[in-house]
Copies of this chain bind each other. A is one copy, B any other.
Amino acid sequence: MSAADRVGLRHGAGGRAMRRLIEEVFLGLGGPVEDGVGLAAMDDGAAIRVGDQWVVMTTDSHVVHPRFFPGGDIGRLSISGCVNDLAMMGATEPLGLTCAVIIEEGFPREELERIRDSMQQACRESGANIVTGDTKVMGKGEVDGIVLNTAGFAVTRRVVTDAGLRAGDKLIVTGAIGDHGMAVMTRRHGLDIEGDLRSDVAPINRLVRAALDAGGDDVVAMKDPTRGGVASVLHEFAEKGKVGVVVDEQSLPVHAEVRAAGEMLGIDPLVVANEGKAVIGVRAGSAEKVLAALRAHPLGREAAIIGAAVAERPGQVIVDTGFGRRLLAEIEGEPLPRIC
């Protein structure tokens, strides 16, 4: 069997290879969804019409290694990832989360309880509630420690997709980029970076609510830049909205430690995973209002307008470096596996 006939690490890395695998293998599983968002949209979650509102649903598994990293752990990640994907669809009040754990035989009880505690803490911060779950145990050597899956649902009267950009719209990122991926990466490789490199992992549903309240219908696209980073989000926005996207590189909020680590490793923070950020597309007239609302929230102090949608070059992402412009290529995948 050739390598092409087998699943590789790149297929889980949030870039083009993963998208292709999903399209080729899984998209056929989803039937049409009337007046809602189904599998074919490949958005952060689904939205199914029920009466006069939508039930939004999302799922993510978490396999991050190491399980505890600067700024968070797999438990906090599992709740934040779920709450944030719901919020990205416009559903900022989670109604119920599921908690499915798969544990390796011999896993320490005490560590399980620490993971549980940080799930609980993230539930508190977001107002989420776990309503059902599942527990499986695999034999020693059959799974590496623990794997978590969370699914969630919420209802909303307005669904925000990732396909709503029009030329002229502004793009806002809710804070500094690349913290999560760089924190996991440097911890895993035992790199010694100066300063405080910490994951941004956090539920941001309340921050997103502030943006939606400020911008109303002028908030037209949202996506959390997890695997594949901000670059992947911008490519999806551009492709689905059929617009070009121009990013102003100088305006990108990047912590000095992340910049340093990126230079050391030769990795652009634009392609590195975040777990407590959103990229938001807003009609130009409301951009400053939304920005101000984000900055007024503790999790949005470093929010910035980073670019705009343009009519030229639909489907492509252009980086304006201040000295010139370059095309941002879509990556095959995040530079390292098991990031989340």
Q: Which of A55, A133, A144 gathers the greatest number of chain B CB atoms within 10 Å?
A: A133
Q: A193 at interface (Cβ–Cβ under 8 A)?
A: no
Q: Please, how many angstroms separate the alpha-carbon atoms of A7 and B46 in the complex?
A: 35
Docked CA distance A217–B138 (Å): 40
Interface size class of A (residues with CB under 8 A): 35 or more
Are B5 and A108 in touch, CB under 8 angstroms?
yes
In the complex, identify which listed stretch (A111-119, A258-266, A283-291) lies at the interface while the others stay far away: A111-119
- Which residues on the B side are within 8 Å of A130 (C-beta)? 26, 29-30, 39
A33 touches B105 (CB 8 A): no
A216 interfacial by beta-carbon distance below 8 Å: no
Contact of A136 (CB < 8 Å), options: B5, B8, B39, B61: B61
**Chain B residues positioned under 8 Å from A11 (CB to CB):** 103, 135, 137
Contact present for B28 and A116 (CB under 8 Å) = yes
**Most chain-B CB neighbours within 10 Å: which of A8, A18, A30?**
A30
A293 touches B (CB below 8 Å): no
Is the CB of A319 closer than 8 A to any CB of chain B? no
Report copies per complex: 2
Cβ–Cβ contact B95 & A55, under 8 A: yes
Q: Please pick, from B13, B137, B147, the residue contacting A8 in the complex, using a CB distance under 8 A.
A: B137
Of A39, A61, A109, A129, most B-chain CB atoms within 10 Å: A61
Docked complex Cα distance between A5 and B108 (Å): 6
Which residue of chain B lies nearest to A10 when distances are taken between CB atoms in the complex? Answer: B137
Cβ of B135 and Cβ of A105 under 8 Å apart? no
Residue numbers of A with Cβ under 8 A of B are 1, 4-13, 18, 21-22, 25-26, 28-31, 33, 38-39, 43, 45-46, 48, 50-51, 55, 57-63, 95-96, 98-110, 112-113, 116, 119-120, 123, 129-139, 141-144, 147, 149, 151, 153, 155, 337-338
Name 17 A/B residue pairs within 8 A (Cβ), A-sorted: A4-B109, A11-B103, A25-B112, A26-B133, A28-B116, A39-B132, A45-B132, A57-B132, A59-B132, A59-B151, A60-B100, A61-B149, A63-B136, A63-B142, A63-B143, A100-B149, A143-B147
A8-B137, A38-B129, A46-B131 given; name 9 further pairs at CB < 8 Å.
Answer: A5-B110, A7-B105, A7-B137, A12-B103, A29-B116, A31-B129, A48-B95, A137-B337, A138-B337
